[in-house]
Each structure stands twice: as C-alpha cells, then as structure tokens.
C-alpha cells in the first residue's frame, strides 16, 4: 500500500486505520509525515521522480502512505498547472518502475483498478484496444504502433509485463492529473502555509530557469517573445501543448533550422519520443506532407493562448506575424553589425 498509495485498498485502509484530517494537519505526531509530503512534491518538481525510502517498520510504511495524501493536498493548495503535471508525471513514473518488477497478475490487478480492461487467459495478457490507444505512451514508435499490434477480438496482446506496466503508468498519470486539484478550504491552507510558501518559491525558481539559450547560430534575442518563451519551456523540460510545438517547429524551420537541430531542442522534453517527434517535424516541414507549414499569425497565436509577453515591437499596429518580428530584428542586428565593422 505504501508503494501503491493510489489503490482503493490503500484508501480504504486509511479510512479505517488512519488519522483524522485534523490530526494529519495539526498533530505533532504527524509532523514527519507532513515534512515527507512536502519532500515528495519537491522531489517531483526537481527530479521528476519520487525518492525510494527504506520501509522496514509498519510506522515507516504508514508515514510513506500518508505522505502521498499530504503531497496531493499540497499540490491542490498551490494549484499551479505546471506543478500538477510534473507531480502526476513523477508519481506515475515511480509507480511504473516499481510495477515493472512485480508479477504480471499483480500488474493486471493494478491496471484494472486504473480502469483498464485487461484479459488474462492461458498466461496471455490482453488489453482492450480502446484502452491501449488511449494510454499508449509512444503511439508512433515501432513497438507501440497500433498497426503492429497482435489484435484478437478487440483486444491487443501485450507481449511482456513491462508493456502492461508502461500502459498502466500512463493511465495513472492521466488519473492523477484529472483528480487534481482537490477542493481545499482555508483551514487546510492555513495549517500548511509554511510548506505551501516553500514549494511556491521552488516552483517560481524552477520557472525562472526557463531562460532561453541560443540555438547554434540563432540568437534568441532576435526571436519574438512567444518563441523565446516556448524555447525556454522546452529547454526547462516542460511538455508543450500541440499548438506550441507546431508554432515553434514551423517558426524554427522558416528561419533556417534543420530538422535535426529542431529534434535536438525537443530532446529535453520530459516525454521525448524520437520517432513521434521526427514524424511531427517532417510533417510540418513538408517532407512527409508535401506542405511546408508556416507558423500561425499573431491573432491565431493569441487565440491559442501562446502569445506570451508582448513587447513594444509586438504592440506596433503592423506587427501581425512572429516571422515579421524576427525579420525586423534580424535586419536591425545586421545593420548594427555592418556599422560596427566600419567603425
């Protein structure tokens, strides 16, 4: 239960044997638990996984289980989409790693609890094709492509237990993301105030590391704020929404970056999938689709919510497109370069 605190059995156990919410929030006996809950969130934020602890005694196991509850409460109190996503990803990764070393019957049990329709018959593990598609972690890479699967009566045969663990991991990530934030009241916010402040500071520090760095020959200072922000997020390991990936890839291609250079940039995303990313890049750059896409214009970027931090140049009446911004800055930089050269 301490290793898989999201299971119904764990929740039922706590309901019968665990402390009340008041005890958990205020009692000195649970101070270590509250501290571990905070650490759990900070580990997710900083490392993208939850540390393993030695769980020898019953007390250690209970503290570990309760730290999951505290961590979820803290993430809900902070209610920051970046933190929530990072936390869900980390809990799921940690559980997925543990699951892959369990026996297949246990993994199937956990998968069922996560809502996956799993069928175990004569030692063959199968999963309903809808659940396979929904929770496929790498849908365009070779071993995971749907067309490559062994499909029997609407079920996909999973060739080994590690694959079932990986699909379960994805389902768990979606589940945690969908459950958070849970409602919190003023009493909870006040009692955990110090922890909340500490985590918020770390979240802000983490976000401040989203400073874009130059991409080879391309100077970030010439890029419009929207593209600088998207690059900074990728370089900080954040997953971009599809609209952001599309706009950034089309923009970088338009200003002369090669597909390999764009690939390198996306390699720092938490869920980087080489074949999927290459497919998307080659589609946008016209290699597969035959159409070379350009980035959306400013009004569309705004409607997608990816026009970040407009500056003075963005506010000019004639500024309608991120590429226009780049050309103006690039021209300005070249003129200044020539002038410096003459002097």
Binding positions for ligand SF4, rule: CB under 6 A: 224-226, 298, 301, 307, 310, 314, 322, 325
196 or 301, CB closer to ligand SF4? 301
64 or 238, CB closer to ligand SF4? 238
123 or 256, CB closer to ligand SF4? 256
* Shortest Å distance, C-beta 225 to ligand SF4: 4
195 or 325, CB closer to ligand SF4? 325
Spatial distance between the Cα atoms of 157 and 148, rounded to a whole number of angstroms: 11
Structure-token pair, residue 161: 């237990």
* Shortest Å distance, C-beta 295 to ligand SF4: 9
3-state secondary structure of 218: strand
* Shortest Å distance, C-beta 242 to ligand SF4: 17
* Shortest Å distance, C-beta 211 to ligand SF4: 17
104 or 307, CB closer to ligand SF4? 307
215 or 301, CB closer to ligand SF4? 301
* Shortest Å distance, C-beta 122 to ligand SF4: 57
SS3 readout for 27-78:
CHHHHHHHHHHHHHHHHHHHHCCCCCCCCCCHHHHHHHHHHHHHHHHHHHHH
**Stretch (H or E) spanning 213:** none
DSSP state of 241: P
* Shortest Å distance, C-beta 310 to ligand SF4: 5
159 or 302, CB closer to ligand SF4? 302
**Which residue, chain included where needed, has tokens 């900070």?**
42
* Shortest Å distance, C-beta 115 to ligand SF4: 39
Burial of 16 (0-12, 13-18, 19+ CB in 10 A): exposed
* Shortest Å distance, C-beta 80 to ligand SF4: 22
37 or 322, CB closer to ligand SF4? 322
Spatial distance between the Cα atoms of 131 and 146, rounded to a whole number of angstroms: 12
**Stretch (H or E) spanning 124:** strand 124-128
Characterize 114-136 residue by residue with b for buried, 16 or more Cβ atoms within 10 angstroms of its Cβ, and e for exposed.
bebebeeeeeebbbebebbeebb
Residue 122's alpha-carbon distances to 100, 209, 229, in angstroms, are 20, 52, 52
Spatial distance between the Cα atoms of 104 and 164, rounded to a whole number of angstroms: 8
Q: How many CB atoms lie within 10 A of CB 268?
A: 12
Spatial distance between the Cα atoms of 290 and 305, rounded to a whole number of angstroms: 28
């Amino acid at each position: 239960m301490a290793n898989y605190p999201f299971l119904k059995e764990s929740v039922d156990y706590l309901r019968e044997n665990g402390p009340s919410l008041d005890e958990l929030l205020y009692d000195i006996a649970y101070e270590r638990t509250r501290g571990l809950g905070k650490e759990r969130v900070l580990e997710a934020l900083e490392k993208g996984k939850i540390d393993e602890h030695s769980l020898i005694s019953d007390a250690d196991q209970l503290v570990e289980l309760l730290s999951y509850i505290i961590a979820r409460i803290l993430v809900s109190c902070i209610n920051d989409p970046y933190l929530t996503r990072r936390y869900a990803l980390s809990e799921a990764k940690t559980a997925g790693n543990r699951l892959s070393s369990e026996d297949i019957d246990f993994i199937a049990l956990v998968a069922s609890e996560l809502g996956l329709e799993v069928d175990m018959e004569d030692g063959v593990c199968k999963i309903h094709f809808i659940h396979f598609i929904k929770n496929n972690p790498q849908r365009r890479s070779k071993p995971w492509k749907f067309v490559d699967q062994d499909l029997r009566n609407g079920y996909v045969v999973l060739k080994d237990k590690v694959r079932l663990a990986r699909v379960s991991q994805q389902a768990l990530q979606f589940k945690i993301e969908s459950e958070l934030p849970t409602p919190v009241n003023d009493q909870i916010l006040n009692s955990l105030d110090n922890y909340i402040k500490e985590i918020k500071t770390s979240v802000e520090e983490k976000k401040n590391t989203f400073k874009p760095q130059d991409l080879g020959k391309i100077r970030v200072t010439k890029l419009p704020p929207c593209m600088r922000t998207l690059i900074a997020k990728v370089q900080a390991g954040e997953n971009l929404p599809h609209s952001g990936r599309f706009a950034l890839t089309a923009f970088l291609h338009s200003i002369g970056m090669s597909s390999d250079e764009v690939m390198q940039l996306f390699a720092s995303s938490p869920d980087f999938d080489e074949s999927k990313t290459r497919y998307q890049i080659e589609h946008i750059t016209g290699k597969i689709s035959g159409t070379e896409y350009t980035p959306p214009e400013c009004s569309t970027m705004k409607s997608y919510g990816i026009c970040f931090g407009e500056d003075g140049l963005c506010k000019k009446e004639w500024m309608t497109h991120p590429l226009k911004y780049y050309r103006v800055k690039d021209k300005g930089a070249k003129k200044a370069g020539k002038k410096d050269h003459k002097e």
